[in-house]
Structure 1
Amino acid sequence: MAFKPSLRNVVSQLQAEGVLPVDAEVQARAALATRLESTTGMPWFVRVLTGFGAWLASLFLIAFLSLGVVVGKEVGAIILGLLLTGGAAFLRHRGNNVFLTQLALSIGLAGQGLFIGGVGVLVDSTEATALATVLLQTVLLFLYPDAIQRFLSSLFASLALLILLRLWGLGLLVDVTLVGLTVLAHLLFLQQGRLQAGRWSEVVMPAAFGLVTTLFSALLMRSWFHDFYKGLFREGSAELPPGVLTLGLAVVTLYSAWRVLEELGVEAGGPAGVTTFVALALLALLTLQTPGVIAAAGVLLLGFHRRSVVLLGMAVVFILTFGVGYYYDLQLTLLAKSLALLGSGLLLLGLRLFTLRRFPAAEEVR
């Protein structure tokens, strides 16, 4: 894993290069202390209780409004849902304390539920409900200034888009769109520094994590609940074979690996680059029937590159989940599966030994 330098090391290096004046360390430490004080001034249990109080208060308010206004009135539910969602966005813009943010988030989610549910009951169409979800969540992604809401908006909008395409009977387009969403997620992480310096800097990471969650959710449904997943398609609708989807996701992962090597200053055609590409290609070919394995490997690569603990945790959990699915999908006897696991384990150990001997800098821990 890449070494994370301390504030002292960074400032000292910049001072040695003449980029920062000598007294810049004092200013940097003061700024860091101010930021830490602002984020840790309230104990965690007080934050939890404050957030719980906000959610409880909003639930009572929503229950009262629902019983008195929108029971059996779909148009009223739609209007009230939009008012609550807009009011939550306005409230969130007005302050940044824990109670206010949690109150606005809970009210906003309830408003979104009322709006989407009202549309679904009014038009009696699953397609219209999915389309309304995509439109509403896309607007909230850019207008609602909250990381949690933006993550949820990215997740709900992308999932609703896949469901909408599936309900329209465009099975092939669903898988193509899933690969496209994967490309977008990888680009957001690869271009994180540049994008976060732009106008929509606060949208980048919530949207990226939402797209990764969508990817894993869709692949989990396809791998573990395929009968239910296929039942969502219209009769006669086709879907891409698992092998084709795996190859598409493998291309995205190989591209990300190339960009990471380029950013690290490692020659793609050198020993390290060739070893990386061959290992990823072999992984994709060995797990053609389980697209989630190469997808999780790509997310694992991004997690190490961006030193994101959350991304690494998600990748590890899902690579184990899809690995179990791959094991049970093998059309082999238990003895053959055991030998396959033994052989793959020895292969990975051999690859590790080769990597450490061929690239000794990889085993240095600093």
Structure 2
Amino acid sequence: MEHMKQLEQIMDAIRTIEGDGFQYDEAAILSEYGEKKGKNSSVVIKVLSIFGGLLTTLAFVVFLFILGIYDSEWGMLLLGIALAAVAVVIDRTYNSFILDTFSVCFYVLGVILFAFGLASLEVNEDFVALLVILMALGSLTITQNYVISFISIITIGAAMLFLIMSYNIPDAIHGYLLLYTVLLAFCFLNEAKLLTSSRKLAQLNGPLRIGLVFCLLFGLVAVGKNGLAPISGSYIWISSVASIGLILYLADKLLKRFGIVGQKKVLMLVLCVFTLLPTLFAPAISGALLIVLLSFLINYKTGFAIGIIALIYFVIQYYYDLSLTLLTKSIILFSSGVVFLVFYFFFTQMTKTDEEV
């Protein structure tokens, strides 16, 4: 009730600022807010519901195994399609968290059975990956369930990476990273437009953000862990170009937000360039840093936490993979730390000066 009163006060304030010409459907806004609040049950109930749904799905898998469904290729294929369809129907027909849990479990099991059924029929694995991508895209257009949409988005990213490795073109991962870097930046920087463009996009905004973050991390892991993908070292810098460019663009926006302009801003941007230069051949670090800055810019706490964890991991991984002596590694880390401390010193001093003025 208290949150509802706060929402009404916010709408009254907006109406006062915008004037009499501002129109909105107050009843629809309050109704939508009430539905979302109703879905936000306690964490214990959510955990128990998800755990119960997973146990039920596991029991169903055991039952299928007893029936021998895994001995029938067409049986797995048709059952996978049926389960995915049932999951979509449940999501669109009923508005219950428990039923949503079952729909998610059915959807995941359906996609797995669909893929295994096609593989058992000796369908080309590349064609299977393409069909899984089409299935995930179809699910995104039909249902707006948060978890199903999230699973569909990361399934598309994983399938794309599978196709890249299947066709033995590992350097195409650079194109994958460029695609998802641009998509992530576009989604984050145009959040307001996406939320107001249509109701469907507004509902997909949440899973789209977190899904794109994970898809980008998939690619960053591929280039960030030495030996995981046979990528040519001569072109590793390609994956860093888009990230570094976007980081500098975000740095410019953030400096304006903190009131730093003129020569001070130019000096800060130059320091940013020198700070980012070492990451030119470490695209995983610049990519994780981009996630942190984008999440900070729009106050997306989940993405910010994921970006910080990824940044720490990729820095440690890069240090571990360096083919240098321990003394040389220590000097590199020491020098990097000094650069960041200098950057921090200049930034805090400039912001303090602006605040005093």
Q: TM-score range by the shorter chain?
A: 0.7 to 0.9
5+ residue gaps, structure 2, are: 1-5, 21-26
Q: Aligned in 2, Cα 1:50/1:172: closer, same or farther, shift over 3 Å?
A: closer
Contact 1:82–1:112, Cα closer than 8 Å, also in 2: yes
Contact 1:289 1:326 survives alignment (8 Å)? no
Equivalent in the alignment of 2:332 = 340
Which letter maps to 1:202? Answer: Q
Change (3 A) 1:43 1:330: closer
**CA contact 1:172–1:240 (8 Å) conserved in 2:** no
Q: Which residue in 1 is equivalent to 2:227?
A: 227
Shift of 1:271: 4.3
The amino acid that maps onto 2:247 is T
Distance 1:297 1:73, change over 3 A: same
- TM-score of the aligned structures, taking structure 2 as reference length: 0.83
Which structure carries more helix by proportion?
2
Pair 1:356-2:348 in alignment: yes
1:351/1:255 Cα in 2 relative to 1: closer, same or farther (>3 Å)? Answer: closer
Identify unmatched segments of 5+ residues in structure 1: 1-5, 21-26
Opposite residue 204 of structure 1, the aligned amino acid is N
TM-score normalised by the chain length of structure 1: 0.81
Aligned residues: 346
Q: Residue 78 of structure 1 contacts residue 116 of structure 1 at CA under 8 Å; is this kept in 2? A: yes
Q: Which residue number in structure 2 is paired with residue 308 of structure 1?
A: 300
Match of 1:23 in 2: none
1:1-366 maps to which residues of 2 (within 5 A)? 14=14, 17=17, 19=19, 34=34, 38-39=38-39, 42-68=41-67, 70-199=69-198, 200-224=201-225, 226-230=226-230, 241-258=235-252, 264=257, 270-271=262-263, 273-275=265-267, 277-360=269-352
Task: Name the aligned partner's letter for residue 213 of structure 2.
Answer: V
Distance in 2, matches of 1:101 and 1:118, equals 25
Displacement, 1:31?
7.7
Measured against aligned partners, the alpha-carbon deviations of 1:313-356 in whole angstroms (never above 9, x if no partner) come to 01100111111122234444322332332232222222212112
C-alpha offsets along residues 281-310 of structure 1, whole Å, 9 cap, x if unaligned?
A: 323311222111111111111111111110
User: 1:259 offset after TM fit, Å?
Assistant: 5.9
Check conservation: 2:268, 2:347, Cα contact below 8 A: no
Q: Structure 2 CA distance, aligned partners of 1:239 and 1:76?
A: 46
Task: Compute the RMSD of aligned alpha carbons.
Answer: 3.5
Is the Cα–Cα contact under 8 Å of residues 240 and 280 in structure 2 kept in the other structure?
yes
Percent of aligned pairs sharing the same letter: 23
Structure 1 pair 92/191, CA: closer, same or farther in 2 (3 Å)? same
Distance 2:211 2:189 in 1: 16
